[in-house]
Structure 1
Amino acid sequence: MKTYQPITPEIIDKLKAITGPSYVKTDRDILLQYQTDYETNPAMFRVPEAAVLPANAEEISQIVKLANEYDFPITVRGGGTSLAAGAIPVCGGLVLSMERLNKIIELNEEGMYMTVEAGVRTIDMQNEAKKVGLLYAGDPSSAESCLIGGNLATNAGGLRAVRYGVTRDQVYSLEIVTPTGDIVECGRILKKCSTGYDLEQLIIGSEGTLGIITKVTVKLIPLPPYRIDVLAIYTDPKKALYMVPKLLKAGVDPTSVEYMDNSYVRDTADYCQYSDMPHYEDGIYVIITVETFREDELDAKMDTVCTICEESGAVEVLEADDRIWNMRRNVQTSCEMISKVFLTDDVVVPVHKIASTIEKIMEIGENYPFQVKINAHIGDGNLHIVLCKMDMSDGEWNKNVEEFHQQVYAYAYSVGGRLAGEHGIGAKKLKYMEQFTPQGELKVMKTIKRAMDPNLILNPGKVIDA
């Protein structure tokens, strides 16, 4: 890893001249707020040397040019909801917080698009679109706290990805500050384009290593007026998982197909203080959402969903109320009740391999002393594994986690999968990226990084070791 220069009083003065003194933070008590994101393991925490809260792309451009001149690293931070240590300043230096870039610039009903700054909350975009009968389809579980810039940086998936795709599928154009400080617009409000390289798609998912996203124009779509949320409860995980191909081939076109194993059902019900959840002791929850533009179509699809679930072995099929979605959105938070330190993982495999992959992971987990919990977007092949440290020693925890990961990742790649479906690589999976990524693919990535960021200023220690 490259060694950087420290942030000196001279640099602090120059930062204050760019943003104003009140937006440059150097007090340790304040900097402690930036030492981690959603990472719970103190061994990964790192306090930055300074933090800055810019107001716009112009200020960010000046800050990036200063970083190149004085050779200090920049870690961009959105809502601090990363599950891959993506916002931790692992090389020290400067944290650049995007919270002041929080304006919704335009909502165009006729063109069905919205232009916002990178610090706007995802939930606020969804609510603004809904007011005019439109939908912003990006919907990560942390929508109430995450910022759109972070969604773009990690190519977040979320709860509607089965039908509408992931964050990159919602984007027309981006404004970015490049690693050398230029302000560039990538993409346009066009239905199609074959004019040169698709730069906005290169930036999306690059986790702040190829550019700092400052503004985005996203696609909006008509909001379906009819919706049903079905809760199918199983007691046999195999039956729950092997139902998915039948559902996807039935022409239902579900918006969401979510899976919660029984440990999550119990823990999230306890966390949300829901005392009367059905099949609390033995239930596996599959949540299926269907949206339509006609009521008769919704009725027909609901009948199809219920029939498939019942024929595949569901012990009960109900209409899911708001409690179910509240439980699903709190699966990560509920782990805090069980273990102060827990590790959230994110693996993606081909959709038709999701059932066998979950079975394999649970089989692997039986050989380890920690609790293995699984929730998944089973309609798009993306599963989340949580390991709870409980009262294990640090040495025992680290050894077992490493062995578990080696087995799980090797299996995922053997069936055509990858390390992350939506959380990104961050710092947490950097070494596994080097180990499991095909060498030709990794070489191209490193070539792009070095060409765009010759001084390795942006988010070092994340995604790849350039």
Structure 2
Amino acid sequence: MQFNKVTEQLIAELKSIVGEANVLQDEEKIEMYSRDEVSDKLWEKMPEVVVKPANAEEISAIVKLANREMVPITPRGGGTGLAAGAVPLIGGMVLSLERMNKILEVDTENLFMVVEPGVTTGDVQKTAKSYGLLYAGDPCSADSSFIGGNVATNAGGNKAVKYGVTSRHIYGLEVVMPSGEVVTFGGKNVKDVTGYDFVHLMVGSEGTLGIVTKIWLKLMPLPKYVADLLVPFADMQSAIKVVPKIMTAGIIPTCLEFMDRLSIKAAEMYLNKKLPYSDAGAYIICEIDGSSETQVQDDYETIGKLCLENGALEVFVADNMSSQERIWKARKCYAEAIRMLSPVYCMEDVVVPVSNIPKALEAIERISQKYNCKIPSCGHAGDGNIHATILREDRNEQEWHDLKDNVLDELYEAVYALGGNLSGEHGIGAKRAEAMDKHMTEAQLNVLRAIKKALDPNGIMNPGKLLKLQ
């Protein structure tokens, strides 16, 4: 696909659409739009221009211009992605959704919230809570990630084991299509099989099929009682082998997370605070919620007993907000804490069937020893999603890229042999497009390419993400 450069004429037309103040070209101002949270400079690329529209109508006009001029568009939310999904690989324009940050409606009768894509996930959660309701999407980056980015990557997060990933909470979308047309599918109907399931095609499409401009989020009553457990184990295998026992005990935890020793130590350094049993080989962190205090207490006692019977060193129970926050700080700071061990790293997002997590972690340990590198791991034990992070440490550039390539090749092979896949929640972006091309069958790829070609015939929407550049 051949694209054109941004011209002065195009810049003038963009300014006429969004206003001069919302078209950025100054290098200092646009530098922050050249990357997301991927730490490797390999995944940094300067845009030619950054445009900040205020509504769907302005986005529609921008997309029509881009199609006319054959200029690529990279949609961008909060820039908290971990797959280089918002990086303008081949220049063109970054279309930032930061100005579209309104909560448009909270419908307490139908239990829906209608929002623009630039609202942070944390603000969605807080607003729902102020009405006595719950928005169950809960990525670790909730305070800074945009809900539009969660939709683009079908973000998972801590509560996915009970409440599901983002797609479960999306019932309607307004989208500016690659043609510039504005379409709406779904809404407040909780059952709707009218036509193709366009809503869930768009969720997880990473800005390659259109730009989401309005989102209908499903809410639910806020659980009355919540308790959290922090359970240290002497070694990772003992910790992770208790997970299937918890999942088959007749209890559905809200969250079921794990951290290995390196992750615990990194969190301790980052928080500058001594953690309980910080020399443990692993943590299991579990949350239970419900409408009955007795039921929640019975559930955490059952889980605590299971853990102690299977090698837990101790079971810490937090049943008030202050102590719950202390437990979760260590887990939620993982990405920031890893930088304390190595400023440059490669965080992976592999997923395997829950029963195969022990084998996946064994494979990660073997690879770590083979290449003499550190690979701290943590993640969502309840749904098989493992964040294994390769640390660069003091290697030079060539050594780092050789190490990363070798480790990723073996990691992905091990994961696929266990029935797993490349990404559980961070998305493919540019970072894993080559790997997806390698591990998917040609028939699978042809289906994806056909959808892309049908909806975006000029290929202007976020090129090089999900599907590698041809």
Q: Normalising TM by the smaller chain, what interval?
A: over 0.9
1:376 maps to 379
Does structure 1 retain, via aligned residues, the 8 Å contact 2:232–2:280? no
Match in the other structure for 1:364: 367
Q: Residues 293-346 of structure 1: CA distance to partner in whole angstroms, max 9, x if unpaired?
A: 011111111110111110111011112432221111111101222222111110
Q: Could you say which residue in structure 2 is the equivalent of 1:306?
A: 304
Q: Sequence identity of aligned pairs in percent?
A: 44
Equivalent in the alignment of 1:91: 90
Q: 1:243 maps to which residue? A: 242
Check if 1:436 corresponds to 2:434: no
Instruction: Give deviations 1:231-262, integer Å, cap 9, x for gaps.
Output: 11001211101101110111111000000101
| Deviation (angstroms), 1:25 | 0.2
| Alignment pair present for 1:200 and 2:203 | no
Choose from 287, 290, 293 the match for 2:288: 290
User: Structure 1: which amino acid aligns with 2:301?
Assistant: D
Cα distance, 1:393 vs structure 2: 1.2
The alpha-carbon deviation at position 156 of structure 1 amounts to: 0.1
| 1:45 corresponds to | 44
Residue type at the aligned position of 1:316: E
Cα contact 2:373–2:390 (8 A) shared by 1: yes
Q: Distance in 2 between matches of 1:324 and 1:267?
A: 15
What does 1:13-412 correspond to in 2, within 5 Å? Answer: 13-275=12-274, 277-320=275-318, 321=323, 322-412=325-415
Residue 282 (structure 1) shift: 2.9
SS in 1 for 2:375: strand
Offset, 1:395: 1.0
Question: What amino acid does structure 2 have at the position aligned with 1:279?
Answer: Y
| AA aligned opposite 2:115 | V
TM-score (norm 1): 0.98
Task: Please state how far the C-alpha of 1:370 moved relative to its aligned partner.
Answer: 2.4
User: 1:141-188, CA deviations, whole angstroms, 9 ceiling, x for partnerless residues?
Assistant: 000000000000000000000000000000110000001111010223
Give the Cα–Cα distance (whole angstroms) in 2 for the partners of residues 24 and 34 of structure 1. Answer: 13
SS at match of 2:124: helix
- Aligned partner of 1:464 in structure 2 is 467
* 1:84-129 Cα shifts (integer Å, max 9, x gaps): 0111111100000000000000000110000000000000010111
Q: Hey, what's the Cα distance between the residues in 2 that align with 1:27 and 1:372?
A: 39
1:418 — aligned with what?
421
**Which stretches in structure 2 are left out of the alignment for 5+ residues?**
none
Distance in 2 of aligned mates of 1:412 and 1:388: 19
Aligned length: 464
Q: CA deviation at 1:3?
A: 3.0
How far did 1:362 drift? 1.4
Structure 2 residue matching 1:130: 3-state secondary structure: helix
Q: Following the alignment from structure 1 to structure 2, what is the Cα–Cα distance between the partners of residues 450 and 273?
A: 51
Deviation at 1:369, TM superposition (A): 3.1
In structure 1, give the amino acid aligned to 2:365: M
Task: Determine helix, strand or coil for the equivalent of 1:372.
Answer: coil
Query: Counterpart of 2:382 in 1: which secondary structure?
Result: coil
2:170 & 2:413 partners in 1: Cα distance? 33
| In 2: Cα distance, 1:350 partner to 1:205 partner | 20
Select between 369-378 and 417-426 the one with higher mean Cα deviation.
369-378
RMSD: 1.0
Corresponding letter in the other structure for 1:302: Y
Q: Distance in 2 between matches of 1:404 and 1:270?
A: 26
| Structure 1 unmatched ranges of 5 or more | none
Q: Distance in 2 between matches of 1:302 and 1:208?
A: 41
Distance in 1 of aligned mates of 2:226 and 2:140: 19
SS of 1:316 mapped into structure 2: coil
CA contact (8 A) 2:236 2:281 kept: no
**Aligned amino acid, residue 387 of structure 1:** I
TM-score, reference length from structure 2: 0.97
**Counterparts of 1:146 and 1:7, CA distance in 2:** 29
SS in 2 for 1:366: helix
Q: Find the aligned partners of 1:49 and 1:147 in 2 and give their Cα distance.
A: 23
- The alignment partner of 1:172 has SS state of strand
Structure 1 residue 281 displacement after superposition: 2.1
Kindly state the Cα deviation for residue 353 of structure 1 after the two structures are TM-superposed: 1.2
Q: Distance in 1 between matches of 2:281 and 2:444?
A: 42
